[in-house]
Chains A and B, each alone.
Chain A
Amino acid sequence: MVERIPSGTRDVLPDEMRELRAMTDRIRNVFENAGYGEVYTPALEYESTFAHGATSAARPSYRVFDEQGNVLVLRSDMTIPIARLVATRYAQVDPPLRFCYFAHAYRGVRPQRGQSRELLQAGVELIGSPAPEGTAEALTMLCAALDAAGLRTYRIGLGDASLYPSLLEAMGVEADQRERILERLVVGNFAELEGIVTSLGLASADAELLLRVPRTRGGPEVIESLSGALEFAATGMRAVHALLEPRVAERIIFDLGLVRSLGYYTGAVFQVYDPAYGVPIGSGGRYDELLASFGRPLPAVGFALGVERLHIALTSEERGS
């Protein structure tokens, strides 16, 4: 009989391992040279630590009891453990603090989807550096990491997590309707979004705006023409964009409909795409309030790349060229 391994997990054999290792070594050099020291935190944390994330996608999927009956979880991302680490090990150290990590996160999988329960992430967290400077630095690091990995045709979608929710609030949409609308937006169900927005009985200009904003994506021209309720978010995005070097700026796609399912994001959010691969390779954003819940109120920004996805995109690019 052949011994199986759990669905959503896999063995890595030497040929692939060599390629993955070479790629992560190149990325690690970029991070270290920019002053991002590598940290490692335990794969197991107390359940209460992850309650600080308080959101759907960050919620851990695996729980075990320790010998005293405490509930431990397998970490579902690295941002929350690093927020804890900053608040405890660096409580007296002046910001900004820069860390990078290469570590596995553990996620639940939906049946028959070939998703990973255990995924290797490469990422950075920049703590204590507010927008727009911190955001620009994170985007610059992101491009440097992708360049070092060897990816050529990637693009970075840049949006603002607070944009759509505040737009809904400003229009006086009820909380439960706001949630329904944001749910549709996260999964990209524009057909149902239209139905819900139409049923709200808003002024036609408002309804039109709610339907247009999620479809608004493209070059810098996208944020030039924004005004009114969108002006605040547009100002933020313009400020970040103005700080970017040309080689980073040319990778950016402005995307007003970008909403992330991780609830701790407060401002700029980003997602990495490659035309050679049909799924996002990595993502990140600002989480200016998470550190405060650990007792160290500091603005922060970070991103995580899926190392296996990065590797698939890289091989797809090579095959395509």
Chain B
Amino acid sequence: MSELRIAVPRGNLFLETLAMLDRLGFDTAEVRENERKLLFEDVGIVTVRPSDVPTYVEAGAADLGITGKDVLLEQSEREVYELADLRYGSCTMVLATVAGEDPAAEALRRLGVVRIATKYPRVAARYFLDTGRQAEIVEVKGSVELAPLAGLVEGIVDLTATGTTLRENGLEIREEIAHCSARLIANPVAHKLKARAVDTLLERIDAV
């Protein structure tokens, strides 16, 4: 059994994370082969939703975890250590609206408030607060791109890697909010009590 338990995100970062763990000497074959299995005690891996990674790590149910900076920004109150920027899974948190004349700017000018759909309500609310604009944040769980097209909102705050999905839906990036990539996080107690194992792993990450 492995000394460290690592929470691996099942999502966009899944395959790149497994590839990194392979390079570090983990045997992730079993993880790749089992889509339903979630706990791999022998390799020291649990697979969870990306947004659940900080939850597991904060509680100490996993010692380390890998998740996107977008998740950490949205859950900024989590008491986890952010050990390293793993540099893959690079994407940008953006404000986008329907292409052409900016409906968000018009809403702000004429109504004083802009409606924004997002899966990141706290990031979006903080961004509009920090930039001195009033916004009504609408949290959606599914395809965010639909919301401005259907007239639910004037703009969206979402994560994009290439901008293709936005363009295909007739949306235009208006502002870049934050750059996001995969991060290695640690439970604070595990960081102290399993210092050697954590540091060894970090050194191997730096080396590959």
Contacts and interface: CB of A to CB of B under 8 A. Distances in A.
B79 to A, nearest CB: 7
Interface stretch (A124-132, A141-149, A234-242, A271-279): A271-279
B84 A191 contact: yes
Contacts of B80: 188
Classify the interface of chain B: helix, strand, loop or mixed: mixed
Nearest to B188: A188
Main secondary structure of the interface of A (DSSP, over half): strand
Interface residues of A, number: 23
A255 B193 CA distance: 11
Interface stretch (B18-26, B54-62, B151-159): B54-62
Given A278-B58, A278-B59, A279-B79, A191 B183 contact: yes
B195 A217 contact: yes
A104 to B, nearest CB: 22
Contacts of B186: 188
Interface string A247-265: 0000001010000000000
Interface string B128-141: 00000000000000
A190 interface: yes
B60 A277 contact: yes
Interface in A153-188: 155, 157, 187-188
Interface string B66-103: 00000000000101111111000000000000000000
A215 B80 CA distance: 15
B183 to A, nearest CB: 6
Interface in B170-208: 183, 186-193, 195-196, 199
Interface in A199-240: 215, 217-218
Contacts of B193: 155, 253, 273, 275
Contacts of B82: 188-192
Contacts of B77: 110, 113
A188 B191 contact: yes
A280 interface: yes
Nearest to A112: B77
Interface residues of B, number: 24
A273 B85 contact: no
A192 B58 CA distance: 19
A191 B191 CA distance: 14
A188 B189 CA distance: 11
Contacts of A189: 81-82
A194 B158 CA distance: 27
A273 B187 CA distance: 12
A159 to B, nearest CB: 10
B164 to A, nearest CB: 28
A218 B199 CA distance: 11
A188 B60 contact: no
Given A110-B77, A113-B77, A157 B83 contact: no
25 contacts: A155-B193, A187-B81, A188-B186, A188-B188, A190-B81, A190-B82, A191-B82, A191-B84, A192-B82, A217-B192, A217-B195, A255-B192, A271-B192, A273-B193, A274-B189, A275-B189, A275-B193, A278-B58, A278-B59, A278-B61, A278-B188, A278-B189, A278-B190, A279-B59, A279-B188
Interface of B: 58-61, 77, 79-85, 183, 186-193, 195-196, 199
Given A278-B59, A279-B79, 9 more contacts: A113-B77, A189-B81, A190-B82, A253-B193, A274-B189, A275-B189, A275-B193, A278-B58, A278-B189
